Each structure stands twice: as structure tokens, then as C-alpha cells.
Amino acid sequence: MEMRECDHMSKVTEDGAAPGVVGREIIEVIDRLNEYAGDNIWEDIIYALPIDDAAIHAADPTGMSDIIILTDGTRIVWMEGEGVWRAEE
């Protein structure tokens, strides 16, 4: 499996732990993703989230950029047919 190189660092707290996104925060993240009207959602929103690069690469080896996996295991996927981002249960 080929891995893409990432030119970013996920946010970490002072103690080195990645902050999680839970409950209401995940709804706010999905709202921001779905309301986004810019040119590069990954640079403008997603790279600022506590993402798990290794899990994203494993889940998206072709680099379609249609899945986000956070460090707490939350999976957010792009629903192409509906044109929206959704959290997977």
C-alpha cells in the first residue's frame, strides 16, 4: 500500500496528546465541513482537526480525500451521492 506524504502536523496539546472532538463539537465540525465554500477544505478546515494520518491513509489508500478519521476514532465520510459530510456510526 502506498502512503501519501502529509505536509501538516495535527494539533497536539502541550503534553503531546491530540485533543479529541466529541458530542456537540462533532456536529459543529460537520456543519463547518458542509457549509464550506472555499477552495481547499483540507487546508482550511480538516488539517486543523486532530486527525489520525495513519488511519486516514489506511482507510483511503487511493487518496480520494473522502474520509477523515480523528485521533479518537471518529470517522467522517464524504457522501458523494448526497454531497454532504457525515459521521459514521
Which pLDDT tens digit goes with each residue over 27-46? 999 999 999 999 999 999 99
Q: Would you say residue 73 has pLDDT above 50?
A: yes
pLDDT at 29: 94
Q: Is residue 18 part of a domain?
A: no
* H-state helical runs in 1-89: 24-35, 41-44, 53-59
- Using CA atoms, how far residue 38 sits from 12, 41, 60, 84, in Å, is 25, 7, 23, 15
Rounded to whole angstroms, the Cα distance separating 26 from 8 reads 21
pLDDT at 23: 75
Residues 15-26 have a mean pLDDT of 58
Range(s) of the domain holding residue 41: 24-87
Q: CB pairs under 8 A, 24+ apart, for 63-69?
A: 63/4
Q: Is residue 78 part of a domain?
A: yes
Q: Is residue 17 part of a domain?
A: no
Secondary structure class of 70 (helix, strand, coil): strand
Domain count, the chain: 1
Q: Is residue 72 part of a domain?
A: yes
Q: Is residue 6 part of a domain?
A: no
